[in-house]
Amino acid sequence: MMLDIKVNADSVEFKVRVIPRASRTEIVGLIEGALKVRLKAPPVGGAANEELVKFLSKKLGVAKGNVEIIAGQTSKIKRLRASGVVSADLENIVG
């Protein structure tokens, strides 16, 4: 299974499936072309989204402002855009 990545000029877009209220925040693998991420935060008041952006920006080594949720703010399946990142960076965090 490969991560479904859309490469743009200065960013990459990818899907994430989140599992809120987990015991800890971590990447647990891939599911249907999406990155599967457990989040400790609950899906209340944007807390899980905020934690997802913070966690992935740290994993990718970019500023928090470089990672944004572009679709699915209230869904378990989200589409994210990471600027200043290449697809290899993304694939490395899955490993």
pLDDT in tens, 24-44: 999 999 999 999 999 999 999
> What is the reported pLDDT for 41?
98
Domains defined for the chain, CATH in brackets: 5-94 (3.30.1200.10)
**Degrees (nearest 5) of the Cα angle 57, 18, 16?**
60
pTM: 0.95
Question: Is the confidence at residue 79, as pLDDT, over 70?
Answer: yes
* pLDDT tens profile 44-56: 999 999 999 999 9
Task: Write down the pLDDT at residue 94.
Answer: 84
| Burial bucket for residue 8 (CB in 10 Å: 0-12, 13-18, 19+) | exposed
